[in-house]
Amino acid sequence: MSTLRICAKCHTWNENQDHCTNCGHLLNPDLIRKIELEKKEELEAGRELDKVDLLLHKIKNSRYILVRAVFYFFYSIWFIFTAIVSFFIAIIAAGPG
The verdict on 76 and 57 lying in the same domain is: yes
| Pair 10, 39 in one domain | yes
User: What average pLDDT does this structure show over 67-95?
Assistant: 96
Highest mean predicted confidence (pLDDT) among 14-18, 34-38, 79-83: 79-83
DSSP states of 48-93 as a string? PP-HHHHHHHHHHT-S-HHHHHHHHHHHHHHHHHHHHHHHHHHHHH
Could you tell me the pTM of the whole model?
0.49
Same structural domain, 66 and 33: no
| Interatomic CA distance for residues 46 and 30, integer angstroms | 24
Question: Do 42 and 9 share a domain, yes or no?
Answer: yes
- Asked if residue 39 and residue 64 are part of one domain, the reply reads no
Number of domains forming the structure of the chain: 2
Q: Are residues 90 and 55 in the same domain?
A: yes
Q: Give the pLDDT of residue 58.
A: 93
* Residues 42 and 68 grouped into a single domain: no
Give residue 41's domain range. 4-46
Q: What is the mean pLDDT of residues 13-34?
A: 88
Predicted pLDDT of residue 69 = 96
Q: Do 55 and 89 fall within a single domain?
A: yes
Q: How confident is the model at residue 27 (pLDDT cuts 50, 70, 90)?
A: confident
The length of the chain in residues reads 97
42 and 64 share a domain? Answer: no
